[in-house]
C-alpha cells in the first residue's frame, strides 16, 4: 500500500519504533543463531531483508522531521537518535553474526559467488570492520557511547540550525525591496503573513535569500540578509552551534582514534574513491589556483560596473554578477523565469525520465494520502505498462521544512 501520511502523528512513533526495532533485532538474531554453515543464501540474503518495517517507519519519520519538523518531532528526534545508534551498534558488534560474515568473506573467491555477490559480501564485511566489529568488548562499549553522543549532537545541531533558518528579516517599507521581481515580493509577503508581521519578511533560507542578493538595489538590505544567512548558528544565543560543533569534532576524533585512524577524515575517506584526505586535498589544490583566478576576474568585472563608489563585498557579488551578465550577454534572468515556471520544470523532468528510462507518469493527486495539501503525486509505469511506483513532489518552502533539495525512498527495489 501507499504510505499512510494522513494517519502519521508524532505520538504514534514511540510504539512504532519499539515494535520495529524489536522485529529487526529478532531478524538478525535468527541469522546469527542459524546452526547451518554460513552461506550467502542463509546469511547475506536475509540480512538484506531484515528490518523491513523498521526501514519503512524510519522513512516516515525522516520525511516528517525534514518536512514538518514541529517541536513534537524535534523532541522525538532528540530522544530516539541515540537509541537508534545503540540498536545499530548492537547488530554491528554481534560476534556470532560477524563470525558468519567473516567466514563468507574469507571464502568469497572459492564458494561459487558471482561478481555482484562478491562485491556485496566485501562491502558488508568492510563496513562492519570500519564500524568496529573487530574491537574488544571494552572498545565496543566506548565506541557505542561515542556514537550515541554523536547522534544526540547531530540532532541538536540540526534543531538549532532549523531554528535560525526559521527566523526572518522584517521589511516594513516596500521601497526597500526595489529591484525584486513581483514573484519574490509575493513570497516575502506570504512569509510575513504567516508570521503575523506587517509588510514583508525575508526568511533565512537560501531560496529566500538568493533572490534578494541578486536583485535588491538596497545595499544595506543585501548586507543585512547576507549576514543573517552566513551567521546561522553563530550568534551567541540559544541557537548557537559552536559548542555543539566542538563536541562533534572531539567525538569524531576520539572515535577515529579508537578505530585505529589518525583523524576522522582518514576514517571517513577510507570508503571513498579518493581513499585518503591527502588525495582529496591534492585534487582540490590542483583546482584551487584556477578557481581563485577566475573569481578574481569576475570580481574585477563587477568592480568596473560598480565604479569607485564602493568595493565589492560578499553581499554585492550576486547583484553585480547579474549586472555583468546583462551588460555582456544581454541576458536577464528575470526574463528567462517564465520559461522555467515550476509546472514547466516538472513536465520537463517527467519528459526526460520518459525519454531516458521509458517511464510514464500519470498524475493522481487527490487520490492518495499526503502530509501537506500542496503535494502532487504521480503513478509511474514502465514502457510495458507495469506499475513501478508512486512519485511524490513537495516543492514549496515553509516553516519546519529544512532548506535544500533532497529525496527519500519509502519502498525500494527490495520491497
136-167 residue pLDDT tens: 999 999 999 999 999 999 999 999 999 999 99
Q: Given phi > 0 = left and psi -120 to 50 = alpha, else beta, which region is 250?
A: alpha
Kindly provide the b/e burial profile for residues 78-117, where b requires at least 16 CB atoms within 10 angstroms of the residue's own CB. Answer: eebbbebbebbbebbbbeebbebbbebbeebeeeebeeeb
pLDDT score of 414 = 60
Rounded-to-integer distance, Cα 23 and Cα 32, Å: 14
Q: What Cα–Cα distance (Å) separates residue 118 from each residue in 77, 91, 113, 132, 357?
A: 36, 22, 6, 21, 28
What is the percentage of the chain residues whose pLDDT exceeds 90? 86
Mean pLDDT of 36-46: 98
301-335 residue pLDDT tens: 999 999 999 999 999 999 999 999 988 888 777 77
154-207 residue pLDDT tens: 999 999 999 999 999 999 999 999 999 998 999 999 999 999 999 999 999 999
73-97 residue pLDDT tens: 999 999 999 999 999 999 999 999 9
Coil vs helix vs strand at 374: coil
Taking the whole predicted model, whether its pTM rises above 0.85 is answered as yes
Amino acid at each position: 500500500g501507499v504510505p499512510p501520511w494522513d494517519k502519521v502523528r508524532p505520538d504514534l512513533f514511540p510504539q512504532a519504533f519499539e515494535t520495529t526495532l524489536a522485529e529487526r533485532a529478532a531478524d538478525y538474531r535468527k541469522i546469527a543463531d542459524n546452526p547451518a554453515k554460513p552461506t550467502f543464501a542463509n546469511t547475506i540474503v536475509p540480512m538484506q531483508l531484515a528490518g523491513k518495517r523498521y526501514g519503512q517507519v524510519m522513512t516516515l519519520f525522516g520525511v516528517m522531521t525534514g518536512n514538518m519538523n514541529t517541536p513534537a518531532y524535534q523532541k522525538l528526534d532528540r530522544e530516539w537518535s541515540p537509541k537508534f545508534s545503540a540498536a545499530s551498534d548492537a547488530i554491528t558488534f554481534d560476534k556470532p553474526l560477524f563470525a558468519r560474515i567473516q567466514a563468507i568473506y574469507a571464502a568469497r573467491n572459492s564458494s561459487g559467488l558471482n561478481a555482484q555477490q562478491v562485491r556485496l559480501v566485501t562491502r558488508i564485511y568492510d563496513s562492519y570492520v570500519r564500524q568496529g566489529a573487530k574491537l574488544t568488548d571494552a572498545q565496543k562499549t566506548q565506541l557505542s557511547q561515542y556514537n550515541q553522543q554523536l547522534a544526540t549532537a547531530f540532532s541538536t545541531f540540526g534543531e538549532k540550525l532549523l531554528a535560525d533558518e526559521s527566523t526572518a528579516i522584517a521589511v516594513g517599507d516596500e521601497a526597500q525591496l526595489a529591484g525584486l521581481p513581483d514573484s519574490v515580493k509575493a513570497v516575502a509577503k506570504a512569509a510575513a503573513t504567516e508570521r503575523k508581521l506587517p509588510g514583508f519578511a525575508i526568511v533565512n533560507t537560501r531560496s529566500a535569500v538568493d533572490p534578494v542578493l541578486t536583485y535588491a538595489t538596497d545595499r544595506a538590505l543585501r548586507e543585512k540578509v547576507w549576514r543573517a544567512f552566513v551567521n546561522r548558528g553563530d550568534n551567541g544565543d540559544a541557537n548557537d552551534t559552536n559548542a555543539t560543533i566542538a563536541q562533534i569534532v572531539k567525538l569524531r576524533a576520539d572515535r577515529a582514534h579508537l578505530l585505529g585512524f589518525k583523524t576522522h577524515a582518514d576514517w571517513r575517506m577510507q570508503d571513498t574513491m579518493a581513499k585518503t584526505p591527502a588525495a582529496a586535498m591534492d585534487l582540490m589544490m590542483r583546482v584551487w589556483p584556477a578557481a581563485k583566478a577566475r573569481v578574481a576576474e569576475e570580481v574585477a568585472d563587477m568592480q568596473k560596473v560598480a565604479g569607485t563608489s564602493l568595493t565589492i563585498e560578499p553581499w554585492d557579488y550576486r547583484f553585480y554578477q547579474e549586472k555583468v551578465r546583462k551588460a555582456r550577454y544581454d541576458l536577464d534572468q528575470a526574463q528567462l523565469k517564465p520559461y522555467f515556471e515550476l509546472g514547466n520544470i516538472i513536465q520537463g523532468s517527467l519528459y526526460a525520465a520518459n525519454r531516458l528510462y521509458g517511464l510514464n507518469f500519470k498524475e493522481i493527486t487527490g487520490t492518495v494520502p499526503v502530509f501537506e495539501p500542496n503535494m502532487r503525486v504521480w503513478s509511474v509505469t514502465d514502457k510495458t505498462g507495469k506499475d513501478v511506483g508512486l512519485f511524490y513532489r513537495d516543492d514549496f518552502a515553509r516553516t519546519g521544512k529544512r532548506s535544500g533539495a533532497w529525496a527519500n525512498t519509502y519502498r525500494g527495489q527490495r520491497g
